[in-house]
Amino acid sequence: MTIFWLITAAMILVALAFIAPALLRKSELKISDRDKQNVVIARERLLELKSEHAAGTLSDEEYEQTKLELEQALLIDLDSAGEIDPAVGSRKGSPVTLIVAMLFIVGVTLSVYLYLGTPQLVDPATMAQQDDKKMPSIEEMVSALVERLKENPEDAEGWYLLGRTYMAMKDYQKASFAFEKVNQLVSDQPPLMLAWADALAMSSGGDMQGRPAELIRKAISLAPEDQTALWLAGMVEDQSGNFARALEHWRHLKPMLTEDAGAVEQVDRLIAAAERKMAASGPGAAVEKPSVAAATGQAITARITLSAELTSQVKPEESLFVYARALEGPKMPLAAVRLKVSDLPATIELNDGQAMVPGMNLSSFQQVVVGARISRTGNAIAASGDLLGEVSPVSVSGDAVVELVIDSVIP
């Protein structure tokens, strides 16, 4: 507070320093300049008289009389100039004027600040009190958010914010409840599913088996290029003993982390550990353990080709997804395989071992839609510009080979 008023006083003194010289400067009236002006005026008037006399406007007598009066007036002016009062000819600035000006400036400045400004902010105690009033605690903010969600339970953003807040507070059970609400309101969103899986795993001491594993596997099937999904999917498969699949996820993730040396180092450690576990488990560990029910013998064979008209529109490294989904019911793939355009033409088998979610597999349905899609973004979710080919209905119990031709573009 003291510093503020010292700065204010210094600024006022600077302002006075600008006007003080003008108020204290001695001013003088120069008499010689006045004499010169009188002489110039007299000469101009004399020239006018001569012109009028020459033109005949003035007679000789009038001209002489007027000229005499003009000369007498000039003499009187010159004489009177020498008798001017010194107080009139010289004037010095008064200190009283400076004091009055100073008091005026200070008074006006303080009045305007007290009226328009916020003087209480220069008091630290007052500012601290205001900060305490304006900044509620985290618990108060959480309570307010909970009350708001009771009034509007369909607010997905509010539930997500509540879940993130509980995660920061390390209250993982409440966080998982909030994220579950979000996933009920907004389905099939990988980031939301991963957040819920993370909360569930943390509330179980880091164990990702069960529901967290289901959510993570579903998320990676929808967003195979998502870094968080790849990271967590590798951890899920590592905990499940599927070291080959874990290595697949982490090796796919590593090139995406080139700008983060610390993350690359951590992934390298995970890869090295998974390789050691796989080597210690023997040759059989290289074969991935099925994460869902084993194949029942029911399968669909599909032969995939790309139409000649679309060949020039694709690149060899672009992702190709071959899938089977229910003819009627959920759109979640019952089985899916990921290839690359460079693998075409290709013949693959779709079976229960490729299910995305336990219980949602080919053997649970009689008829399905079989499709192949080239993703321009690498994302498992269809997007505008992707190339597509589908055949339906296809009987799951049949032995025929499905001919899939990718021949259309998703608008």
Q: Please choose, from the candidates 93, 92, 111, the residue with its C-alpha nearest in 3D space to the C-alpha of residue 103.
A: 111
* Per-residue pLDDT at 202: 86
Q: Averaging pLDDT over each range in 9-18, 34-43, 113-122, which range is the top one? A: 9-18
The string of pLDDT tens digits covering residues 345-364 is 888 888 877 776 656 778 88
Angle between helices 190-203 and 211-222 (to 10 degrees): 160
What does pTM read for this prediction?
A: 0.42
* Per-residue pLDDT at 119: 56
86 vs 138 pLDDT, higher one: 138
* Per-residue pLDDT at 186: 84
Phi and psi angles of residue 359, each rounded to the nearest 5 degrees, phi first: 90, -15
Count Cβ atoms below 10 Å from residue 231 Cβ, excluding itself. Answer: 21
> What distance in Å separates the CA atoms of residue 18 and residue 27, rounded to the nearest whole number?
18
295 vs 378 pLDDT, higher one: 378
* Per-residue pLDDT at 40: 67
Return all residues near 117 (Cβ < 8 A) that are at least 6 apart.
Answer: none
> What's the one-letter identity of residue 323?
Y
368 vs 61 pLDDT, higher one: 368
Share of the chain above pLDDT 70, in %: 70
* Per-residue pLDDT at 305: 94
* Per-residue pLDDT at 296: 44
> What distance in Å separates the CA atoms of residue 64 and residue 58, rounded to the nearest whole number?
9
* Per-residue pLDDT at 407: 93
> Please, which residues bridge with residue 370 across strands?
324, 391
Report the Cα 67 to chain-centroid distance in Å.
90
Mean pLDDT, residues 206-230 taken together = 87
Q: What b/e string do you get for 126-143 counting C-beta neighbours within 10 Å, with b at 16 or more?
A: eeeeeeeeeeeeeeeebe
Hey, is 97 helix, strand or coil? helix
* Per-residue pLDDT at 244: 86
Mean pLDDT, residues 311-318 taken together = 90
Per the prediction, the chain carries an average pLDDT of 77
pLDDT band, very low/low/confident/very high, at 23 (cuts 50, 70, 90): low
Mean pLDDT, residues 91-96 taken together = 56
Mean pLDDT, residues 44-53 taken together = 76
